[in-house]
């Protein structure tokens, strides 16, 4: 089965799906002679600002890389602080998400987190499941290579059990086995802080996404920075291999 070709949007069209690698919290804190947790706290404030700005700017899906599967290598105290900030965010923002009609999604191996945090995520996802507005996707304990391997494993098991014909496994079929299967294609991937790598984030989904690397540290990222990123996206021409 041939994969369906993606249609290039009109020039200047706004992106439907934007993802952000939120980088630079530690450097923000270091520059101010503050502990790293201060940078992470300001990073949470940036999440609040940017999530609200995304809704104002008409972004249909905003995906944020909050905690990677490799972040467990950080000091235990920092990991504990990050999980505490996540708890606070879920507790403080849930009613606003519900009130604004925002659907919360979580991708990654988040069920490996502590039971109380898993329960909070389950509750928040369930409370917003029927929302008809934009979607906020949080990537937690996420790694793109693990996601791709899990999708391949799932399709292999279906083929083994006779549920699908291996000959029918194409790009569209494979994409349907990923955690993002019911989301629009990724249009724009932004990384803050000046680093220029994907860090195991949405590797499959980013195949034809526009990439934008900005020098702004994540705690300083705001509505104006996001608007400028969308303006840059609008000036690009997306051909998806065509002319």
Q: In angstroms, how far is CA 188 from the centroid of its own chain?
A: 11
Nearest to 214 by CA among 233, 194, 199: 194
Nearest to 60 by CA among 222, 186, 221: 186
Whole-angstrom CA distances from 13 to 76, 90, 143 are: 43, 32, 30
Q: Which stretches of the chain are DSSP H helices?
A: 25-31, 36-56, 76-100, 115-128, 144-160, 171-175, 223-234
Q: Return the domain boundaries, the chain.
A: 17-234
Nearest to 139 by CA among 45, 199, 64, 73: 64
Residue 181: Cβ within 10 Å count: 10
Taking only the tens place, the pLDDT of each residue in 122-154 is 999 999 999 999 999 999 999 999 999 999 999
Residues annotated in a binding site: 23-28, 36, 40, 68-70, 72, 74, 191, 197-199, 210
Residues annotated in a binding site for Mg(2+): 23, 210
Q: Would you say residue 6 has pLDDT above 70? A: no
**From CA 227, how far away is CA 233, in angstroms rounded?**
10
* Phi, psi (rounded to 5 degrees) for 86: -65, -45
Question: What is the greatest pairwise CA distance in the chain?
Answer: 60
C-alpha angle 20-192-52 in degrees, rounded to nearest 5:
50
Catalytic sites, residue numbers: 23, 71
CATH topology of domain 17-234: Undecaprenyl pyrophosphate synthetase (3.40.1180)
Taking only the tens place, the pLDDT of each residue in 38-89 is 999 999 999 999 999 999 999 999 999 999 999 999 999 999 999 999 999 9
- Sheet with 210-213, strands from edge to edge, namely 103-107, 135-142, 61-68, 17-21, 188-191, 210-213
Q: Would you say residue 90 has pLDDT above 50? A: yes
Residues annotated in a binding site for substrate: 24-28, 36, 40, 68-70, 72, 74, 191, 197-199
Q: Which residues contact 226 (CB under 8 A, 6 or more apart)?
A: 50, 53, 54, 57
Q: Would you say residue 7 has pLDDT above 80? A: no
What pLDDT is recorded for position 237?
Answer: 80
Using a pLDDT cut of 90, give the percent of the chain over it.
91
Three-state DSSP class for residue 191: strand
Q: Would you say residue 11 has pLDDT above 60? A: no
What pLDDT is recorded for position 1?
Answer: 41
């Amino acid at each position: 089965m041939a994969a369906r070709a993606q249609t290039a949007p009109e020039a200047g069209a706004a992106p439907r799906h934007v993802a952000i690698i939120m980088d630079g919290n530690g450097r923000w804190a270091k520059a101010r002679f503050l502990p790293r947790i201060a940078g992470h706290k300001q990073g949470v404030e940036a999440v609040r600002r940017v999530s609200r700005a995304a809704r104002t700017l008409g972004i249909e899906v905003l995906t944020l890389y909050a905690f990677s599967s490799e972040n467990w290598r950080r000091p235990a105290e920092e990991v504990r602080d990050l999980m505490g900030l996540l708890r606070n965010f879920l507790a403080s923002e849930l009613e606003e998400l519900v009130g604004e009609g925002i659907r919360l999604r979580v991708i990654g191996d988040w069920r490996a987190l502590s039971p109380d945090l898993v329960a909070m995520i389950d509750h928040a996802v369930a409370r917003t499941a029927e929302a008809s507005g934009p979607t906020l996707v949080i990537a937690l304990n996420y790694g793109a290579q693990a996601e791709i391997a899990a999708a391949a494993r799932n399709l292999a098991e279906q083929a083994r059990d006779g549920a699908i014909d291996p000959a029918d496994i194409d790009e569209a079929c494979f994409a349907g086995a990923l955690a993002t299967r019911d989301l629009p294609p990724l249009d724009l991937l932004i990384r803050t802080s000046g680093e220029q790598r994907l860090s195991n984030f949405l590797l499959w989904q980013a195949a034809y996404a526009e990439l934008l690397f900005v020098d702004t540290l994540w705690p300083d990222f705001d509505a104006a920075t996001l608007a400028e990123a969308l303006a840059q996206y609008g000036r690009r021409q997306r051909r998806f291999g065509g002319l």
